[in-house]
Structure 1
């Protein structure tokens, strides 16, 4: 897998020299940034695993970039490359989160020693230096995300109530960082011995991507059919249609509510059936080969007076966190 490298310098010559100095055997994808502001735009899109950063630049200098990376929790390893060899400059960039400092003009051998020292040119060691989801999503950020989700959840619940002509019960949404093995445990409102059916739908917008999973308690299909005026004998086909209808309402409305608050425009993929009449853990396990550790938002809906329970999970990829963090910080500051 290629390592994404961003080289940020206002000098075209310096950028090319830096690129030529990288180890020949290092499998990298290089992106150039002409100033700090340009670099931040690329980093917010998840384009950089490693950043080589000049200090003295117009518009936004290297110190400003380091402060922005730190404030936004962007998971990039930064090595400062500068002609400023003052001791104070070294100390300052280290305090702002830079991995190390190397002076201009670049000595290819010294660069190789530095990369080897930190294991930066080894994919397995590279991940050791990166911030984890746990550290990137602090309590304040989780609170903001929970409130944003609460608003979107309410909008979706209102639409569902209007369609079904019932009162929809809305608990507080849960925001957690979970491993795949923990996903079924997150569905606390669904008993382990209850048969369920599920559908998932991918979504993506400007650096934020993930999947929405809707898990519906099978015992609720009869009630939903009555509320939606379905007639005739219940069968798997009818239940699948009901599942898709509920999924379209809730997934579409929640994503719309989030997009309006976070200034994102989500594109949605085609819905995919996870399974029918299965245990929750089976639905998750069978379809989770591409999921790893993820930011998970759980929203549970219930219909008052009816045996209908459904859980909507938004699984947001780790690569999406920097952009999402930036959007949430902006919303919080306002």
Structure 2
């Protein structure tokens, strides 16, 4: 039986490895890996992608752009999207652009097998078949493993925010870095860009892991947020609204991370870190809290709105070893 040319496209080395591990052993495929949509398109044009397993949120060229390019160029690749962006609108859009199916991260091999069978790509299961790989296994770093964990978490949080605000949330590729205190100040300054800000901070701890979540709002956008939340009562203040929104977004992110690494986080009450203050003031007021830290930077934006939420997840230095242990099964 001839091998089916398959492209596995995801910017995360770990995510690609998870997909490769989940492929049915009786599916005769020749595999090409792509780290972004541009690489995937090059492979498809060369005849290496009759079937494509495609991520959405990627640098250079995302999954939506790949689907649009396939249609524009008349290429007949059969695409299954595998993504952490689980918004209902994301699913609707990829199917409208021609994807055969949408598989939500995290998934298991049974779900993949059922999906491949349902769309007619796995029609003659039989004995185990050798699969041809185009590249050797790549090492998976802690940052890559944790970034993919965060990627799933921010997708689930975005789905909640989309429901609350009635908009489509555009997801970023999260930045994951281990920063010294001075570098963290620089990162915070980059987020702030000297605009007037209000920030909500929420501590969390559990399973030997601790840190703070910092959600930064730009003051110029608060009225627009209130409009989306249909705020009608004058008794519902800006701060109450921002705290409520922060609880939803931070809570969803942390609960998803906790579930994936099998811990339970206790969350502190949201605190107003700064109101109508420049980012430099926020840093000065809280510099003693942050030494060396594992920092996750996420910038959500709302389609059709001039609104952005900047979320920072700051894990203490002591948490890194525990997180590495928790993620070890993914990195092997």
| TM-score after normalising by structure 1 | 0.55
Cα 1:172/1:279, change in 2 over 3 Å: same
How far residue 193 of structure 1 moved from its aligned partner, in angstroms, is 2.6
Cα 1:153/1:188, change in 2 over 3 Å: farther
SS in 1 for 2:296: strand
Q: Deviations over 1:46-80 (max 9, x none)?
A: xxxxxxxxxxxxxxxxxxxxxxxxxxxxxxxxxxx
Structure-to-structure mapping, 1:130-145, within 5 angstroms: 140-145=141-146
Question: Residue 291 of structure 1 aligns with which residue?
Answer: 290
How far residue 320 of structure 1 moved from its aligned partner, in angstroms, is 1.1
Q: Deviations over 1:240-289 (max 9, x none)?
A: 11210121011100001101111111110111110111112221221221
Question: Residue 196 of structure 1 aligns with which residue?
Answer: 197
Q: Which runs of 5+ in 2 are unaligned?
A: 1-138
Question: Residue 307 of structure 1 aligns with which residue?
Answer: 306
Question: Residue 265 of structure 1 aligns with which residue?
Answer: 264
Count of equivalent residues: 194
1:161 & 1:250 partners in 2: Cα distance?
A: 11
Cα 1:191/1:145, change in 2 over 3 Å: same
Question: Residue 254 of structure 1 aligns with which residue?
Answer: 253
How far residue 231 of structure 1 moved from its aligned partner, in angstroms, is 2.1
Establish whether residue 167 from structure 1 lines up as the match of residue 164 from structure 2: no
Establish whether residue 324 from structure 1 lines up as the match of residue 304 from structure 2: no
Structure-to-structure mapping, 1:1-334, within 5 angstroms: 140-187=141-188, 190-231=191-232, 238-333=237-332
How far residue 291 of structure 1 moved from its aligned partner, in angstroms, is 1.4
Q: Which runs of 5+ in 1 are unaligned?
A: 1-137
How far residue 239 of structure 1 moved from its aligned partner, in angstroms, is 1.4
2:176 & 2:238 partners in 1: Cα distance?
A: 29
Larger Rg: 1
Report if the CA contact (8 A) 1:146-1:175 is conserved.
yes
| TM-score after normalising by structure 2 | 0.55
1:206 & 1:264 partners in 2: Cα distance?
A: 6
Report if the CA contact (8 A) 1:187-1:311 is conserved.
no
Report if the CA contact (8 A) 1:221-1:242 is conserved.
no
Report if the CA contact (8 A) 2:141-2:331 is conserved.
no
